[in-house]
Every structure is written in C-alpha cells, then in structure tokens.
Structure 1
Amino acid sequence: MKKSLLNVTVNSPDALRLARWWADALDGEILAENEGWFVIVSLGEGRPGLAFQKVESVSSGSRLHLDFGVDDMNAAVEGLVAAGATLIAERSMPGVTWTTLADPDGNEFCVAEHG
C-alpha cells in the first residue's frame, strides 16, 4: 500500500491566525476553517497540506520542524521576515547553506535553495 503524507499538523492557541499566516507566506489556500479548531491549508495539488489544530497551550516538548526548498533563498527569507517570521540563524556545512526562522508562534523551520 502506498502511503502519502497528507498534512503536517501544528498545535496553536490561535490555529486560524497561524494558518492564515502560513497560507499567505507559502501562497497556499485555506480549504477548511472548522470554526478555528482545525484549519487545513492546501499548498497545491500533489503536495502535503498543513493543518493547524487549536489547543489551550502549546507543550514545551519537541517542536515540529519543516524544511523548505526555494529558488532564491535571500528573497524568500526577506519575504518571510517581512511577513512576521523571526530570523534564528544562518547555518552551513560543506555543500549546503540554510536559514533557520521561526513563525509567529515560535515554531522553527528552515529555508534552503534547491540544488
């Protein structure tokens, strides 16, 4: 049986606000709001979606981590920071450079150029 990732789910005290932020940041579309308790964002056909589940408080346990490939890392990072992301660090190792950011709720994610 083939298995596909459908959604990556993020817990948030304000799921709708965070879903809207990510939909805007990634040119996605909100498919379902479910009165703000479980919001689904489509990133395009054939791609996994993002889901945001309302919780009373976010646990301090391990956090979700997303990695994104982009064509122009500098432009992508500038756009995300302008939209409300926080720059955490510029990182590199032989053959790859990436930037770690955090969304408005503090969930970290990385951006690197394709190739």
Structure 2
Amino acid sequence: MAYRIQMVVDAYDPHAQAEWWAETLGWAVEPSNEDFIRQMIAEGYATEEETTIRNGVLVWASAQAIAPEEELGSRDRRRILFQAVPEAKTAKNRVHWDVRLDGDDKDAVRAKLEARGATFLWEAAEGPHSWYTMSDPEGNEFCIS
C-alpha cells in the first residue's frame, strides 16, 4: 500500500515562510476557510487567540500550507505545511529539499532568491552536476540545481 505524505516545516512565522516558499516554488498558499474557523470558535473547539488576520483574511495563527495551484482542493495534492514553533532554528537541517530549476539559469535564480531574503551558503558539485546550497529567510537549508 502506498501512503500520501506532506512535508511539515517548523517555522517562527509560518505565514511568512509559506508565502516565501509558495513564490519560490511557483505554488500557492492554501486559501483559508473563514466560515470553518468561525464555526470552530463558535462551537468551542478553538479560540479567537488561535487565529490572526493575514492579508485581510482570518487564518489559523499556528500554521499555513502551500500546494501547487492546480492541485488546490485535491485530497492527493502535494503539500508543505509550515507550523509555528516558539524558537528559531539553531542547528543544521537533517532533511532539506532540492529545487530543480529545469533549465533556468542557476545564477539568476540565486540572485532573485537572495533579493527576497535567501542566503547563499556554498557551491558544490558531483561529476557534471553542480548546485548551490542556500538558506531561506528562517535559515532552513535547501539546494538549487
């Protein structure tokens, strides 16, 4: 049996991270269901303190997910969930992802990412394949190749 998975990333600011990664990957921030959130508050399953307003929309404060836009609403969508944690990142990631550029110029993409808050860490190569290791605005490592 095959299982579906989602990646979950700890984040100090899950909404900012979700927006940054959605733009980076060409994905979309999953839309909020404000009626559902209000219903959960009205029925006592959540509190107002567990919500916030982001870009004029009522959202859960503790998490935000992204997915490819064409997969939004699909149960089988690829999904990355950013969840709030109180502490900043302090050590190297044990897992990271590689962003495959599919022919886009690696130096141009690096410059765009740096302009948006990413940090270049190092360049590496194995045989004819080379990549840049970078970190996102919260310090999570990822590679572009």
User: In structure 2, the residue corresponding to 1:106 is in which secondary structure?
Assistant: coil
Superposed counterparts of 1:69-84, under 5 Å: 69-70=100-101, 71-72=103-104, 73-84=106-117
TM-score by length of 2: 0.67
Do structure 1's residue 40 and structure 2's residue 65 form an aligned pair? Answer: yes
Counterpart residue identity of residue 78, structure 1: A
**DSSP 3-state at the match of 2:60:** helix
- CA distance in 2 between counterparts of 1:35 and 1:27 reads 23
Q: Tell me which residue corresponds to 2:9.
A: 10
Larger Rg: 2
Give the direction of change, closer, same or farther, for the CA distance of 1:76–1:59 in structure 2 (3 Å limit): closer
Structure 1 position 48, deviation (Å): 2.3
- Which residue identity is paired with 1:105? E
Summarize the Cα distance change of 1:57–1:101 in structure 2 as closer, same or farther, 3 Å threshold. Answer: same
**Structure 1 residue aligned with 2:139, among 102, 106, 111?**
106
User: How far has the Cα of 1:24 moved from its partner?
Assistant: 1.6
Quote the offset at 1:60 in angstroms: 3.5
**What is the CA–CA distance in structure 2 between the aligned matches of 1:83 and 1:61, rounded to whole Å?**
22
Q: Which ranges in structure 1 are unaligned for 5 or more consecutive residues?
A: none
Query: Cα RMSD (Å) of the superposition?
Result: 2.0
Cα 1:100–1:62 shift into 2, 3 Å = closer
Question: Contact (CA 8 Å) 2:89, 2:139: kept in 1 or not?
Answer: no
Q: What secondary structure, in the 3-state scheme, does the structure 1 residue paired with 2:26 have?
A: coil
Amino acid at match of 1:39: Q
Amino acid at match of 1:93: E
Corresponding pairs, count? 111
User: Equivalents in 1 of 2:22, 2:87: separation in Å?
Assistant: 22
Structure richer in helix, relative to its length: 2
Q: 1:61 to 1:82 in 2, by over 3 A?
A: closer
Residue 95 of structure 1: aligned partner: 128
Tell me by how many angstroms 1:23 deviates: 1.2
- Seen in structure 2, the aligned counterparts of structure 1 residues 21 and 67 have a Cα distance that, compared at 3 Å, is same
- Report the structure, 1 or 2, having the larger strand content: 1
TM-score (norm 1): 0.82
